[in-house]
A and B are shown apart, each in its own frame.
Chain A
Amino acid sequence: GAGVSQSPRYKVAKRGQDVALRCDPISGHVSLFWYQQALGQGPEFLTYFQNEAQLDKSGLPSDRFFAERPEGSVSTLKIQRTQQEDSAVYLCASSPSTGWATNEKLFFGSGTQLSVL
């Protein structure tokens, strides 16, 4: 597609409910990142995929958070037993390669705004 696509755009969940957030990166992009952005804050790194391999999940806040990218394209971020503190915008970003070529940059999606009641 033309850009990084995320769905749903908004998600309201009751506390304790499981949610799944989807990211369609730009076609052919090797690297995929998930970031969490709390209200009024900068994005915080959650996890990184290189193709289907999850190379870094150090930013995932707890074992309730799980991400996958089984075929190296679409990625899903799953949050189990959601808590109020999980309320945030979840941003997905992709880039063409792994080596950060000159002038290479991350392309961000519009995000999924998650509200846990």
Chain B
Amino acid sequence: ELKVEQNPLFLSMQEGKNYTIYCNYSTTSDRLYWYRQDPGKSLESLFVLLSNGAVKQEGRLMASLDTKARLSTLHITAAVHDLSATYFCAPKGDSSYKLIFGSGTRLLVRP
């Protein structure tokens, strides 16, 4: 059964700094998603990563996937307050139709 581990679970960082969130998963996966959730809101899809070595960038966020290491990263560059939210990774197992979510990383960007 696919298990997902994210770290850190909580991240407080200053504006302008860089940081990386890590997502490890236990079995093979044919795609991985990153979602953002604001307090009291639903989940917003950020990236879908489909193959080994895939890299996607949108603004100050960049996601990558290493299927051999079963690892995905979400890198934050020059953080701004608007990025404060909870970020979830969610791989889909091979031969499966469901996404399995990590526990989430709660990001707080301080002025």
Q: A72 within 8 Å of B by Cβ? A: no
Q: Is the CB of B50 within 8 A of A102?
A: yes
Chain A's closest residue to B92 (CB) is A100
Determine the distance from Cα of A65 to Cα of B50 in the docked complex, in whole angstroms: 34
Size of interface on A: residues with Cβ below 8 Å to B: 26
Q: Tell whether A105 pairs with B45 under 8 Å between CB atoms, given A42-B104, A43-B101, A45-B100.
A: yes
Q: Is the CB of A105 within 8 A of B33?
A: yes
Q: Could you say which interface size class chain B belongs to?
A: 20 to 34
List residues of chain B with CB within 8 A of the CB of A40: 104
Q: B48 within 8 Å of A by Cβ? A: yes
Q: Tell whether A48 pairs with B41 under 8 Å between CB atoms, given A41-B103, A102-B50.
A: no
Determine the distance from Cα of A50 to Cα of B22 in the docked complex, in whole angstroms: 32
Determine the distance from Cα of A7 to Cα of B24 in the docked complex, in whole angstroms: 34
Q: Is the CB of A111 within 8 A of B42?
A: yes
Other-chain contact of A48, B4, B30, B92, B97 (Cβ < 8 Å): B97
List residues of chain A with CB within 8 A of the CB of B103: 41-42
